[in-house]
Amino acid sequence: MSTKIKRIAVLTSGGDAPGMNAAIRAVVRSCAYHKLECVGVFRGLQGLIEGDFKELGPRSVKNIINRGGTLLKSARSQEFRTKEGREKAYKNLQEAQIDALVVIGGDGSFTGSSIFIEEFDFPIVGLPGTIDNDINGTDYTIGYDTALNTVIEAIDKIRDTANSHNRLFLVEVMGRDAGDIALNAGIGAGAEEILIPEQNLGKERLISSLKRSKKSGKSSSIVVVAEGDQIGKNIFELAEYIRQNLDEYEVKVTVLGHIQRGGSPSCYDRVLASRLGVGAVDALLAGKRDIMIGISHNKIVHVPFSEAIKGENEIDLDLIRVADIISV
Ligand code: F6P
């Protein structure tokens, strides 16, 4: 075990996700357990540049395991993308005598962290915190499970009204580049069709499929559309196309938006965040850096940042098959 690390900073960066507070709490308490000092950095990587720091003890994170959002606030820092910004951040870390950093965020935050490690030889480990589940090497990201539950609860409600009026609802869910929320929530909520960025179904096939399901006796329909889906310019344009090519239904659009990022984290997210937070401090004490702490087959794993942020989001083809079969 390295004896060099005495003071660890923690921050949340990028889009907030339910469970981030549970992760912060786990890092802070893990530091206390190992008799290390812990410093909270407000507003993510931007707060690092501005030196927005606060000492955190085990009691300063009381009553937050159940709260959505992030106590430390979050930001998407443009300045951290510049060399000057990162130099300021390093200077602040040195001045505050911080020996290592835990970054809770998504691929943008990990990319910035990795560059920072290379430039300043500074130990950083990351925790995957994003509702999108679009990080390689971890089965789940913090916030994803809660977001899925929020989405299916919303779609269940939409289904009640869709069914009462024989309507077709297009429901947009988050996922700029990733279809994980759409695909899993779509299966969970019994959607007829699920449109994701990783696969372009094509407008014509969508119309024929909706016509087929109407013929087969369905009176209403739910189509889940990921934010980054390629099929139309946007969901409203797609709705217009369907109106013009399908008389069978009245078409409505619901955009779920940021409701998916808020709310009390699910038990799964709280436990995951707690395990990953403890894993982050363990890893730093073991001399690790430039890695993400993830979960694979229910075991904590260390994934190099370069792997975590690599390439395109991969979708489980088996899930697509399941979605097709059960919507017949
Ligand atoms: O990365 C998480 C995410 O929620 C995406 O699904 C979404 O496209 C994006 O953040 C929205 O970001 P913002 O809140 O900055 O508009």
| Statement: residue 311 has pLDDT above 80 | no
Among candidates 185, 160, 182, which has minimal Cα distance to 235? 182
Q: List Cβ neighbours of 105 (8 Å cut-off, separation of 6 or more).
A: 12, 13, 14, 44, 74, 126, 127, 129, 130
Sequence ranges of the chain with CATH classification 3.40.50.450: 7-143+265-308
Q: What share of the chain is helix, strand, coil (3-state, %, to 5)?
A: 45, 20, 35
Q: What is the mean pLDDT of residues 35-48?
A: 98
Q: Which numbered atom of ligand 1 lies nearest the CA of 76?
A: 15
DSSP letter, residue 37: E
Protein residue with least CA distance to atom 3, ligand 1: 15
pLDDT at 4: 87
What is the reported pTM? Answer: 0.96
CA 97 – ligand 1 centroid, Å? 33
Identified catalytic residue from 132, 134, 180, 229:
132
| Catalytic-residue membership of 132 | yes
Residue-wise pLDDT for 150-209, tens only, equals: 999 999 999 999 999 989 999 999 999 999 999 999 999 999 999 999 998 889 999 999
Determine the distance separating the centroid of ligand 1 and the alpha carbon of 174, expressed in angstroms: 7
CATH architecture of 145-261: 3-Layer(aba) Sandwich (3.40)
pLDDT in tens, 69-125: 999 999 999 999 999 999 999 999 999 999 999 999 999 999 999 999 999 999 999
What is the CATH architecture assignment of 7-143+265-308?
3-Layer(aba) Sandwich (3.40)
